[in-house]
Amino acid sequence: MQGSTGKNLKGFPFKTFGRIMSQISVTKFYNDSPELQLLVTSFDGNLYVIDGDDACSDSLDLGEVSYTPVLIEDLDDNGKMDFIVATMNGNLFCIETSVPSHPLKTWYVGPDVSNL
């Protein structure tokens, strides 16, 4: 939704083929572009990467569902983002990317639990 007008953005709301039960991870893949990307798992077994500008998406079929947000880190210290997905079957998937990593490129959208 456009904050200044309250109107829906082009391509949003975005529909998957299953329910979304996790928080959405927000990141910035491209330094030269102002748009952000949304990462979310769906109960259709896919991980979705949704472009914030036009809702164009890529998906990766994990074959398993997840209740957890996608963790975005540089696990192997190679300077590139890695996506970690935990599934309901107890599996962890680590997806390597070629996107440069930086701690200020990632936000997690969800309830404020800092005072619990």
Q: List residues bridging with 4 in a β-sheet.
A: none
Residue 112 has pLDDT above 90, yes or no: no
User: How far is the C-alpha of 47 from the C-alpha of 65, rounded, in Å?
Assistant: 9
Q: List residues bridging with 84 in a β-sheet.
A: 71, 94
pTM of the model: 0.78
Q: What pLDDT digit, counting tens, does each position of 19-76 carry?
A: 888 888 888 877 677 788 889 999 999 999 988 777 788 889 999 999 888 988 888 8
Q: List residues bridging with 51 in a β-sheet.
A: 37
Q: Vertex 8, ends 45 and 41: CA angle to 5°?
A: 15
